[in-house]
Structure 1
Amino acid sequence: MCQAGEDYGGCRAPPGRPHVSGAQKCMKCKEGAPVLVIRVGDAFCKACFREYFVHKFRAMLGKNRVIFPGEKVLLALSGGPSSSAMLRQVQEGLSRETAKRLRFVPGVIYVDEGAMCGQSPEEREDTLTRMQALLQASGFPHHLIHLEEVFELPSSILQRAPHAPSPPGSSYKAAVEGFIHQQRRGAAGTGDTMAPEGQVQERLAVLGMQEGAAASPEGLLPASALTEELRRLFGAVTTLTAKEELLQMLRTHLILHTARAC
């Protein structure tokens, strides 16, 4: 949660950016009072912007086609507004009330960087307690890890995982159709009428029971010796740019190792 200071006190537009006037109306519904402007003068009311935001999020997942049905996806949560919005969108995308549900199985990871943010042990414990509650409330399998744990990573984390090449003629559409066909065939064989999305929900519940105990609130802080070692490591780096690159690298290694171990 190392973040630059953010002003949440109002919706003031940055200098040089278009702002909302009292006479404007929402460009989509033509009725609601706009609350923000995107792109060049496109004003949206709250309801229309939310609908637009959800559509863009779903379209991004469908357009990139990097996530196949049934895959486990680890979501990195920082506690900031962007990652919190991502988590909320995934929760709503897996809801039974959603028209087109997401078909992947999410997990959530939070990397504690309090040692590098100058937080006291009390502040870190308070932050970790709040993040622990947020992770548990998500309903997804979750992991709360500390940046200090990089010293305990195996050397294999620096090696690329073996990647099996896709068979000739494989495509995302074929994978989706094959997944749905397999799930429906399995349901028909057992007399179960559960839809593929319902099986994803069931799998989430099982994973949550298996991995929920791994993130217990006991022992929130790492060993002080590891914290001092981490501070010495960053103290040896001279520039802020190098510190940021080091932090990004260590964070990525931790997330990658956790994803491989899931």
Structure 2
Amino acid sequence: MKRVLMIQRAEVFSPNSVEKDLAILEAVAQRLRSKGCEVSLVSETAPLESAPSADVIFTMGRLPETLSWLKTLEGVQIVNRPEGIEHCGRCQLEALMARIGTPMPPKEGSDGYWLKRGDQAAQSQGDVVFAPNREALEQEIQKMQQRDISQYVVSAHVVGDLVKFYGVQGTGFFRYYYPTDDGQFKFADEARNGEARHYAFSEARLQQCVEQLAEAVGIKVYGGDAIVRADGSWCIIDFNDWPSFSRCRDEAADAIADLI
């Protein structure tokens, strides 16, 4: 019998999504138990050193101490690997995307700018802000620096359809959705691109691009955002470890459980 430990993400990394993030973990746990696994669920805010021993760890954790603890474990299958989770910090991620040729938004444009904290995943709406021009951007940078955030990335706003995608690397599972179709938003900024026009694009090419990125980052369970332009081209504006999969939870849970 395989012993599986599931680590719940600290609430600070689940803005407006605590229940949704927990729901995908519980859905995976249910499937693993049906396969005969012994499953334990703990929060990363609890002392992990006293967590039950396991053969497999499924973790949504992002705290530095969580990642450090995971790195000390030997002979344990871990999804997602702590090194891959660290690579999802925006500064590291942007450098990696540039290296492998992932389509990215330009640095300059005439439709405003996005400022995003670069050291960790977003913890509040203030970690990802829109600035209509350069003057406003400089003001937002100063605000971020006043919060002792010295690492950040800047990109130009891209006009087009906002597409949210979800995947489990290596399993063939890949889904994408338009947030304006179902009205599911984490922050109001997701509506800035307006109603989706459903511009035609190659889903197969997008999946291939994102799977390549997941492989380079080093994570199996991922999600992110892309902007699809009117001509069918796209750019990746966000990529992160283990989203809530709220739009496709049951299918995603099946794919994640199959990883072991």
Greater relative contact order (CA < 8 Å, ≥ 6 in sequence): 2
Structure with more of its chain in strand, by fraction? 2
Same fold, TM exceeding 0.5?
no
Task: Give the TM-score taking structure 2 as reference length.
Answer: 0.26
Decide which structure has the larger Cα Rg and report it.
1
Task: Give the TM-score taking structure 1 as reference length.
Answer: 0.26
